[in-house]
Structure 1
Amino acid sequence: MSVEVERKFVCESDIQDKLKNIGAVCIGQSEFKDRYYDSPDYTLTLRDFWLRKREESWELKCPAFSRTDVEKIDEALCTKYREVTDLKKIQAVVKTVCSGAVEGSLDVSEQKMTDNYNKNETWLKDLMLVCFAEYTTQRCSYVFEEDGGDGKVRVDLDQADFGYCVGEIEVLVSEGGDMQSAQHRIQKMAEKLGLGGEKRIQGKMDVYLQRYCPDHYAKLIKAHIL
């Protein structure tokens, strides 16, 4: 399972020109709707688990590190998440988290797939999960081939339908791989694009919750999730 290491940045009007000038290649544009789910008391998101349905595909973003060093987390420019896309594994993980599993004790590969859930979404009702956020994103994606054969860095430029635009620099790392190297590659890409600042930039979800779900947002801020 791979880990997404990602840094968000403010999209300036000339960002696409900058990407082309450094040799990044546009790999296409897309539009998709995301629906995010949680329990009424925010069991998943308060543990930094993000369950979403993107169009017709389910995804679960799980924290890839322990939240023990609050100060370090607050200062971090990058986020790190494991992404689970197999529906049965998603259901098993969500059931475990909703049952009170402690973060860090969860091993997706060892989950027993014994639940008789199916794809008609009755499992959401069984686990008392409801949609708390829904929005559509228009995305333009680029890839940059690094010197020395280090691999590709992906850059997504997102425009959400609630009026927020944000960029994302992403590197995929195999679980157990070199996270520091991934962060260094992201930093190099940020420098190539002339991105400065030491402050973490809000993502689409941060802004959506701040605007439309302030109570939920406040709880996540207090828990040092956002």
Structure 2
Amino acid sequence: MMNLYLKNIIKRSVLYIKNVIGQQRFYTDTQKNHFEVERKFKFDPSKVNLLEANRGKKPFDKVMFLSEKSFTDIYYDNLLDYPLTTNDIWLRQRDDKWECKTPVNLTASMDSYHELENTTLIKNFLDEKLKNNQAIKRQSENIPYYENKSFKEFLFKNYKLEPFCTITTQRRSYLINNKFTMVLDTADFGHSVGEIELIVESTDKVQDAEKRIAMFMKEHDWFFETEGVVMGKLMAYISRFNQNQWECMEKSNVVKRKLFPETLENIVTKT
């Protein structure tokens, strides 16, 4: 009897601690407000050694190698009409962590996103975004903050969202000049792409960030290849393996905007 009593006490204590942790994470996420401004580029793998030794045609002020890692992304949408990806919204499970990148759309020349990392915030966003979608007949039910493992079932039950692709990426990350984050990605289906990113704390700093990125990339154009079409991993995957989704994204103008952004020259010279 005592063992059963102790087990119940322990069980309730564990649930309480999980709930407290979940609430703390929720509070942190709601207070954390940041926006990603990023520009993709092609790169020559033979120049990576020059990058890391900082011996390129025009050296950087500082190159710091941060890490090399592998991760797997599973992306979700409604496979009938793709209401997320046709609006440049990217819901994914990266290993065991849920993330939803929502467009800020403050610049026509670069990608700018606000990232949601809490399942409750993601749920609230999806409720609002998909409320007029035929797949959503009612507002979704609540889900505890900490039950990430059950979130997959929750997504399908409430929004009819299911995986449309799984990509494993090998990533090398760098900090350049103590301000620009840069990653070089190679996906498991044979596509490579780089990305320069700045994170800002408010929307009124987004356009300044894109100009700083453009000037930086033009100054070091020996490494950053931006001529022609630069296709990110997801766009490359969808174009190769899901023609229906690609056509839906073309109709919504997402393909045109992402593959043919404003040139770096125009960004630098505009006032």
Common fold, TM-score beyond 0.5?
yes
1:211 is the counterpart of 2:248: no
1:39 is the counterpart of 2:78: yes
1:90 is the counterpart of 2:117: no
Could you tell me which runs of 5 or more consecutive residues in structure 2 were left unpaired when the two chains were aligned: 1-32, 55-59, 134-139, 256-271
Deviation at 1:16, TM superposition (A): 4.3
* Residue identity opposite 2:238 in structure 1: L
Secondary structure at 1:167's aligned position in 2? strand
* Residue identity opposite 1:124 in structure 2: L
Match for residue 15 of structure 1?
48
Match for residue 24 of structure 1?
63
The equivalent position to 1:185 in structure 2, one of 190, 209, 212, is 212
**Are 1:18 and 1:193, in contact at CA under 8 Å, matched by a contact in 2?**
no
Match for residue 3 of structure 1?
35
**Are 2:43 and 2:193, in contact at CA under 8 Å, matched by a contact in 1?**
yes
The equivalent position to 2:203 in structure 1, one of 170, 176, 194, is 176
* Residue identity opposite 1:165 in structure 2: S
Secondary structure at 2:204's aligned position in 1? coil
**Are 1:8 and 1:200, in contact at CA under 8 Å, matched by a contact in 2?**
no
Q: Which has the higher strand share?
A: 1
- Identity rate, percent: 31
Q: Which has the higher helix share?
A: 2
The 5 Å alignment of 1:157-168 reads 157-168=184-195
* Structure with max Cα Rg: 2
The equivalent position to 1:100 in structure 2, one of 132, 149, 168, is 132
Could you tell me which runs of 5 or more consecutive residues in structure 1 were left unpaired when the two chains were aligned: 67-71, 102-113, 147-151
**Are 2:238 and 2:246, in contact at CA under 8 Å, matched by a contact in 1?**
yes
**Alpha carbons of 1:14 and 1:196: their partners in 2 closer, same or farther (altered >3 Å)?**
closer
- Residue by residue over 1:28-74, the C-alpha shift from the partner in whole angstroms, topping out at 9 and shown as x without a partner, is 111100000011221111222110000000000101027xxxxx84x
Q: Which has the higher contact order (CA 8 A, sep 6+)?
A: 1
Alpha-carbon separation, structure 2, partners of 1:138 and 1:154: 16
Deviation at 1:193, TM superposition (A): 2.8
- Residue by residue over 1:74-96, the C-alpha shift from the partner in whole angstroms, topping out at 9 and shown as x without a partner, is xx2x1111111111000111122
